[in-house]
Chain A
Amino acid sequence: MPDYTLKIRRYDPESGDAAYWQDFTVDLAPERSVLDGILRARDQEDGSLSIRCSCQAAICGSCGVRINGKSALACNTKLSDAAERAQRGGINNEATSNGAIVVEPMGNMPVLKDLIVDMDAVHWKKIQRVVPWLLPEGEPPEREYIVDAEAMIDVTQSMACIQCGACVSACLSMEVDPEFIGPAALAKAYRFVGDPRDAHHEDRLRDLAEDPHGIYDCTHCFACIEVCPKDVAPMSQIMRLRRRATGDYAIKDSNNGYGHEKAFVDIVERWGTLHEAQLLPRSFGDGSLVKGQTRPAAVKQLIDSAPAALRGLARGKVSPRKVLIHPKLPDQKEVRRIYEEIEGRDERIELNLYIVGEEGEGGADDKEPVQGESGAES
């Protein structure tokens, strides 16, 4: 059996020493997991090496760590794959690994000991923030709630979450804004906003849209989608929350989330390509150019952002002419027609790749790939 070297980040707050790296070499079959490697190192070399784990089958969500810089479940990552990645060199490993598999505690959460992070202080606190239980209207029915199975398809993806925190660990907005509600909690929020039994969709959305660390604080970096072991695609759930907030409830939030989306979509409808000079004023005015240049709060934001625009003008990046006049596409009427055909309909059509599968050959008669409103993107 091959030898694998694990380079593990150690830290013991009681010792008073700083964190340090320690190498362990374990002799295990390639298909065994990184968790097996860590447990073997603990059993054979150092009983104080600490990690949380239980199911060892990617179900309980307790063994989240960073392997070669990438957040993952230790029990769900093969030693051979991790070693191959390490040989190639991880991206931005903090340690020079010399081919060793680098294992660190998850990011964005305080370390309690070795590979154990404080999930309560960050992850669970944020989950609580979104009121993660059903808020139905009125008295509960005598027996169970009856829901159309179709109506629940939309939330199955967010229900697949095992609360491992890998997405929280990888989130690039949270790295600079620890108050960001974050991917796991927002995916959980969608689980209720998409549930027909819940009676507080609009309140939930308004709350998350108005919070400066809510749905409009996600920087669309795909890190959570990349690392999630259960394909929950938290960012896609956040985009659904935004879509519902703007499209279904027209919630005009003070973070300009509504304005930015409306401005962008309207500009492309009108010109076909992005007219950047109008994007900011329209964004600050809930999508309206006039409001964006007259409403006091919008004007203040516009002035705050003026230096960047002036710098652009000064360097000849943009000419005054370009600011004022933006050419329409030659066939702009076709773009408008497409908008009318699609936006003129009441339902939104989405293809749910999580449900139909990414490798779908398509065309099979027994499946229903296109759903009104409640579809999902991967």
Chain B
Amino acid sequence: MRVAYWPGCVSRGFTPELHGSMELVAPLLDIELIELDRANCCGAGVIAEHNQELVDTLNARTFAMAQRVAGSAGMMNICSTCQGAQSECQQRLDADDDYRRLINQHLRPEGLEYKRGDDWTNKNLLWLLVEEIGLEKLRERVVRPLEGLRVAPFYGCYIVRPTGRLGYGEFPDRDRYLEWVIDAVGATPVEYAGSHKCCGFPVITMNKATSLRQAGRHLADAIDADADCLVTPCPLCHLNLDLQQPDAAKFVERPLDIPVLHFPQMIGLALGLEPKELGMGKHVVRTRDVERKVAALAAV
């Protein structure tokens, strides 16, 4: 399956291991990535806060580029925040012809146009995997079932709320997919309070206490539920849960030491890729224990 691929800024910036592991995992799932390397930042909610017309135009530009990728099944992203920010713009662009025309005027000098199409979609890898590729196929491809690994899902707000805008009408189980995929790769999904809550990242520069108390609390809850690691489809959540974890520990006044995997990394492990090639050495919280468990699992 060919997709117009939007990796997002953070996966090529502060979490390069995410983009890297996606590129390794894609061929193993028969996904052909056509990277949108001329597209711009989604705005991550901040440009939306600043000027709606601007953010809608910037994302319409990305959509228009994606729609030009010949033979693609749609656009794919690997960031919950990109998903949410872009879905918000797409909802407005699709809702009103006049408004869409107005936005498209800004794209005309570049020869671009966003066309509303009922079957054109922008899906996070998580959605694409479950809805288009299918968990059956994923199961067939697993060469190293992650048996015994207890994984706590962490979705990221932007991919679970608001349900009205994020396609939950058609796909009501989108808030379950991480658990399903964890199960499909042979690991055990861990239930804990924080899975659908906020990592706190959006206010890290504005209110560090609010931000890191959220991250710290969810990490602590996952530890108390006996998780070996967390997994997240959002690199911004990863920044607060992993990069900031040592600071988060101070805000919740307890030691935290739990690795956080990017979603494609977890799939990569099950598909036989090695932790090192998946960039797990780049995490701030050491992934040793997860690696040891995985190494003990014989590849089938």
A→B interface (CB under 8 Å)? 91-92, 172-173, 175-177, 180, 212-213, 216-223, 225-226, 239, 242-243, 246-247, 255-257, 259-261, 264-265, 268, 272-276, 279-280, 283-284, 304-305, 307-308, 311-312, 315-318, 322, 329-331, 334-335, 337-339, 341-343, 348-351, 353, 356-363, 369-370, 375, 377-378
CB pair B38–A176 under 8 Å, yes or no, is no
Cβ contacts A to B, 14 pairs, < 8 Å: A176-B209, A176-B214, A180-B210, A216-B203, A219-B200, A220-B202, A222-B157, A222-B158, A261-B50, A264-B46, A284-B205, A330-B37, A338-B58, A351-B96
Residues of B within 8 A of A256 (CB): 205-206
Q: Within the complex, which residue of B40, B203, B247 is in contact with A218, where a contact is CB–CB below 8 Å?
A: B203
Q: Within the complex, which residue of B95, B201, B243 is in contact with A312, where a contact is CB–CB below 8 Å?
A: B243
What 4 A-B pairs are tightest by C-beta distance, nearest first?
Answer: A362-B97, A222-B161, A274-B9, A221-B198
Sample of 20 more A-B contacts, CB < 8 Å, known A221-B198, A247-B50, A338-B57: A91-B195, A175-B197, A175-B214, A216-B203, A223-B157, A226-B163, A264-B46, A274-B41, A279-B205, A305-B205, A316-B281, A317-B15, A317-B282, A330-B38, A342-B51, A342-B53, A342-B57, A343-B51, A348-B51, A356-B95
Q: Which of B13-66 contact A (CB under 8 A)?
A: 13-17, 37-41, 43-54, 56-58, 61
Q: Within the complex, which residue of A177, A226, A305 is in contact with B161, where a contact is CB–CB below 8 Å?
A: A226
CB pair B38–A331 under 8 Å, yes or no, is yes
Smallest Cβ-Cβ distance to A358: which chain B residue = B95
Residues of A within 8 A of B95 (CB): 351, 353, 356-360, 362
Given A217-B210, A239-B48, decide whether A356 and B96 contact each other with a Cβ distance below 8 A.
yes
Residues of A within 8 A of B200 (CB): 176, 219
B→A interface (CB under 8 Å)? 9-10, 12-17, 37-41, 43-54, 56-58, 61, 84, 88, 91-92, 95-100, 102, 106, 109-110, 157-158, 161-165, 175, 191-193, 195-198, 200-203, 205-211, 213-214, 217, 243-244, 246-247, 281-284
A137 smallest CB distance to B (angstroms)? 29
Smallest Cβ-Cβ distance to B56: which chain A residue = A351
- Tell me the bound Cα distance from A216 to B208 in angstroms: 11
B179 smallest CB distance to A (angstroms)? 10
CB pair B46–A265 under 8 Å, yes or no, is yes
Smallest Cβ-Cβ distance to A332: which chain B residue = B40
Smallest Cβ-Cβ distance to A258: which chain B residue = B206
CB pair A358–B91 under 8 Å, yes or no, is yes
- Tell me the bound Cα distance from A375 to B92 in angstroms: 12
Smallest Cβ-Cβ distance to A171: which chain B residue = B198
A364 smallest CB distance to B (angstroms)? 9
**Chain B contact residues: over half helix, strand or loop, or mixed?**
helix
Given A276-B10, A338-B58, decide whether A307 and B246 contact each other with a Cβ distance below 8 A.
yes
CB pair A176–B213 under 8 Å, yes or no, is yes
Q: Within the complex, which residue of B38, B54, B84, B202 is in contact with A339, where a contact is CB–CB below 8 Å?
A: B54
CB pair B205–A221 under 8 Å, yes or no, is no
- Tell me the bound Cα distance from A77 to B57 in angstroms: 38
- Tell me the bound Cα distance from A242 to B193 in angstroms: 30
Residues of A within 8 A of B209 (CB): 176-177
CB pair A217–B203 under 8 Å, yes or no, is yes
CB pair A311–B98 under 8 Å, yes or no, is no
Given A255-B207, A268-B47, A312-B243, decide whether A341 and B106 contact each other with a Cβ distance below 8 A.
yes
Smallest Cβ-Cβ distance to B105: which chain A residue = A341
Residues of A within 8 A of B39 (CB): 329
Residues of A within 8 A of B217 (CB): 176
Q: Within the complex, which residue of B10, B54, B163 is in contact with A343, where a contact is CB–CB below 8 Å?
A: B54
- Tell me the bound Cα distance from A205 to B191 in angstroms: 41
A188 smallest CB distance to B (angstroms)? 19
CB pair A362–B58 under 8 Å, yes or no, is no
Q: Within the complex, which residue of A91, A172, A265 is in contact with B47, where a contact is CB–CB below 8 Å?
A: A265
Smallest Cβ-Cβ distance to A283: which chain B residue = B205
Smallest Cβ-Cβ distance to A264: which chain B residue = B46
Q: Within the complex, which residue of A92, A239, A272, A284 is in contact with B193, where a contact is CB–CB below 8 Å?
A: A92
- Tell me the bound Cα distance from A359 to B95 in angstroms: 6
- Tell me the bound Cα distance from A121 to B294 in angstroms: 51
CB pair B16–A317 under 8 Å, yes or no, is yes
- Tell me the bound Cα distance from A226 to B217 in angstroms: 22
Smallest Cβ-Cβ distance to A311: which chain B residue = B284
